């Protein structure tokens, strides 16, 4: 099966998946810059409309399916994710050319910092993201709406999150933070996160988050 045939199968399978209104709104918002037209944005009523526009903008093609991966993750569809994971795996009709290389001397498996056998001291995680997420989700409480608004989350999304997750504030807040990080410029997401906590009148929580970032930046 050629790459184009694989892409066609993947695309058609994805289009056939049920996409709820809140999921479609998240996808439209994520690709708003690529859609590049308010008129086209308003005409997107289903997944097929969205994918056709993204194909016209060369955001999605047989040579670049990364955006399809994002769509599959939003839809939480394991079948599509599996197809994407196998997209670049050659079929029998596309044999892999193997380069003949000189024999490589085996590495000594008993030396080096990567060897975890017999480890006593724990490995220190140098990424503070998970700890920050957990802290905010656990302590934000009833201020989660003010926090979401400060991160420029629309009222429609806030209502959908509240309806879908009822009183599960931790899950709602986690989705808000993840969405914020996806749409925010990488250099600014930490600053805007703590600023939003300040605006939500949770300066105490903002200070805790800043302390975590400062502590991990020295590792």
Q: What is the pLDDT of residue 19?
A: 87
Write out the two tokens for 144: 């989660």
Q: What is the pLDDT of residue 131?
A: 87
Whether pTM > 0.95 for this model: the answer is no
**Side-chain half-sphere CA neighbours of 153 within 13 A:** 28
Question: In angstroms, what CA-CA distances link 17 with 43, 56, 57, 128, 144?
Answer: 19, 21, 22, 35, 32
Q: What is the pLDDT of residue 185?
A: 83
**Best CA proximity match to 138, nearest among 210, 208, 50, 52:** 208
Pairwise CA distance, residues 45 & 21, whole Å: 9
Q: What is the pLDDT of residue 113?
A: 46
Write out the two tokens for 5: 């045939």
Q: What is the pLDDT of residue 154?
A: 86
* Tens of each residue's pLDDT in the chain, 219 residues: 788 888 888 888 888 888 888 888 888 888 888 887 888 888 899 888 998 888 888 888 888 888 887 888 888 878 888 888 777 655 444 444 444 333 444 444 444 444 445 555 555 555 678 889 889 999 999 999 999 999 988 888 888 888 888 778 999 999 899 888 888 888 888 899 999 999 999 999 999 999 888 887 654
Give residue 46's Cα distance to chain centre: 21
**Best CA proximity match to 81, nearest among 68, 90, 92, 94:** 68
């Amino acid at each position: 099966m050629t790459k184009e045939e694989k892409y066609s199968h993947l695309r058609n399978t994805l289009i056939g998946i049920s996409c709820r209104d809140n999921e479609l709104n998240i996808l439209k918002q994520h690709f708003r810059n690529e859609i590049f037209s308010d008129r086209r944005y308003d005409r997107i009523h289903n997944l097929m409309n969205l994918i056709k526009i993204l194909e016209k903008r060369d955001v999605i093609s047989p040579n670049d399916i990364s955006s399809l991966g994002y769509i599959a993750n939003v839809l939480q569809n394991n079948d599509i994710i599996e197809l994407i994971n196998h997209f670049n795996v050659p079929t029998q009709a596309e044999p892999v050319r193997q380069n003949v290389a000189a024999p490589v001397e085996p590495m000594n498996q008993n030396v080096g910092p990567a060897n975890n056998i017999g480890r006593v001291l724990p490995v220190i995680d140098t990424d503070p993201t998970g700890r920050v997420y957990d802290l905010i989700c656990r302590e934000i409480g009833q201020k989660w709406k003010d926090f979401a608004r400060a991160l420029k989350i629309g009222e429609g999304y806030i209502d959908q999150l509240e309806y879908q997750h009822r009183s599960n504030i931790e899950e709602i807040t986690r989705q808000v933070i993840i969405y914020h990080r996806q749409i925010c410029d990488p250099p600014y997401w930490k600053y805007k996160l703590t600023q939003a906590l300040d605006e939500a009148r949770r300066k105490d929580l903002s200070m805790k988050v800043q302390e975590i970032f400062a502590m991990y930046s020295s590792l």
